[in-house]
Amino acid sequence: MADEDPFLWLEDVTGETALDWVRARNAETLEEMGRSERFTRLQAELREVLDADDRIPYVRRRDEYFYNFWQDADNPRGLWRRTTLEEYRKERPAWEILLDVDALAEQEGENWVWQGATVLRPGFRRALVELSRGGADATVVREFDLESREFVPDGFQLPEAKSRVGWINEDLIYVGTDFGEGSLTTSGYPRVMKEWRRGTPLSEAVTVYEGKLEDVAAFAYHDPTPGFERDFVGSSPDFYRVHKYLRTDGELVRIDVPEDAQTEVHREWLLIRTRSPWQLEDRVYEAGTLLAARFDDYLAGSRELTVVFEPDAHTSLEAYDWTRNHLLLTTLSDVRTELHVLTPAEGWRREPMPAGPELGVAQIVDTDPDSSDEFLVSTSGFTDPPTLSYGHVGGAIEVLKQSPERFDSEGMTVDQYFATSRDGTQIPYFVVRPRAEGGPTMLTGYGGFEVSRLPDYSGVLGRGWLARGGTYVLANIRGGGEYGPSWHTQAMKENRYLVYEDFAAVARDLVDRGITTREKLGTHGGSNGGLLMGVMLTRYPELFGAIVCQVPLLDMRRYHLLLAGASWMAEYGDPDDPEQWEYIGKYSPYQNVHSGRDYPPTLFMTSTRDDRVHPGHARKMVAKMRELGYDVRYHENIEGGHGAAADNEQLAQKWALLFEFLWSQLKC
């Protein structure tokens, strides 16, 4: 129980006693690893990759401009900037600087980290800019004038909180924030959504929707599409269920779909993606099906649905994006990307689109659903650097930008294999091997929240691991979304153990195939993947030569009481329920650290400013393992948020520590 936890004091995030402990552990880790010649080279090379001037500046279209946020050695906190398509086509575009975050941070004496901007449409004259201190999820919100390139005096502003904001028109916004007692959910997100009119105090904002205290969050947003202006409000009872309403003439009209279904409205169309089987009249739509209906007809009671996409045993829907007149589908077939364009006006006719390398990934970066059928698509593979292309549906595709190679991939091979999990399920995984055999192997995975891990390019991974002779393995275990919602839902709550059995099966398969040995097999993962690492450490230690555990959940007895943890109970279960704690407690890493075990050397990494996954998880785990005499190291970035790094310098250090630890521990 919590009152029996001798390391509870380490949950005091910024308490001096806890921070003294953190500083001491950081000093030990940096003394051991940070002074080696290899670490110094790694950090310098990774910083070079991260700051490279010839990286692709990924953009989003807003009216006539392409917007980009850029960080490099001269601008570590970043520049928010924009340019035109004509300029972007050039090797060195002329950029209009909108906001210099480094200059702002120096001017105001704050450790500002960019967290994004919501641009008013139509008009595109104003933006709601979000900035966080040190990279936390909590942000301050300020209104920004895109013409004068200045913050608006007496404009919309919010103090630091986990707020939710969005434009209705130039003088009216939706806002959910910390209005005082009872205005946030138990997960720390907005429970109450209000309309806030320009020139009035926040205290006079008008409530338009209230969720429940135990909900994850409430939301409200305005769709400004000309001729189809609509307002939606609602809340999420848990991470996977949504109650969504059309707000009209002072009343709320429920969009009557299954609670766990995802919906999107575009012009006259309603899209419904099922997460579990849905029986409607005499038909059952399987999980992962995408359905289309005319929105007004559906709200009026019609249930005339068109199946836009139907999954099978090998194929799932990864994403969908509207252009003005078409729907672009991104599908996965055994984790291999395919792109399709659908045309509603022609009976939802489907045609293929180019999709990049066979063992790679293609992603729709942006579209212009208001006014055109243009799209931006990025393609890459483990050894194929990214290419960004521009096109219009039905027309030619133009390459806009290509990234140069960040590492020498000549002679490297990419293969896909399948491991057999304990229950017989086939688990796919990718293996990237260097020219020479015999080096160490790094295995990673995630296995949660229906997040797919795809075979894309990483200059950091290539430079720090592959080019030095390491083998890289990406496991597509259950809990993710690689085979649609059922790949995730079958491994939730009481079936969570399947995630860990899958990952262990991949580790064993690597050895059985002769790809590596236990002594040369390292593994790493972060967040939910950090929980995965904690379970590998405590339940499958015989499989690994070294483990790196980043920004992890580990104390599953208390996770729901720490920061955003309550929002994840739909994924893991409620530890306060004895029946649910029965299965959670069997794998909870912090409760399963015992003396006399043969745990491999382990490095834990987290961030003080992570206000999503509490740093106390990693702190307490390390303290407990140290007390029992295990070979464990710890590094906590004092800033950086859930990504554990606020700028490229910190990011380079984080990756250099990870690689240096694995290189040194895997006897290479």
Residues classed as catalytic: 527, 642
Q: Which residues contact 443 (CB under 8 A, 6 or more apart)?
A: 473, 475, 503, 506, 507, 510, 521, 522, 523
How far apart, in whole angstroms, are the C-alpha atoms of residue 71 and residue 52?
A: 9
Q: Which amino acid is at 80?
A: W
The tokens of 197 are what? Answer: 């009119």
How far apart, in whole angstroms, are the C-alpha atoms of residue 419 and residue 503?
A: 9
The tokens of 639 are what? Answer: 């800033």
| Alpha-carbon torsion, ordered 77, 133, 239, 583, to 10 deg | 110
How far apart, in whole angstroms, are the C-alpha atoms of residue 489 and residue 570?
A: 10
How far apart, in whole angstroms, are the C-alpha atoms of residue 182 and residue 269?
A: 36
CB 321 within 8 A of CB 302: no
Neighbouring CB atoms inside 10 A of 151's CB total 15
What is the residue-wise DSSP string for 54-119? TS----EEETTEEEEEE--SS-SS-EEEEE-HHHHTSSS---EEEEEHHHHHHHHT--EEEEEEEE
Quote the radius of gyration of the chain (alpha carbons, Å). Answer: 25
CB 357 within 8 A of CB 381: yes
The tokens of 293 are what? Answer: 């209906």
- Pairing relationship of beta strands 521-526 and 441-444 according to DSSP bridges: parallel
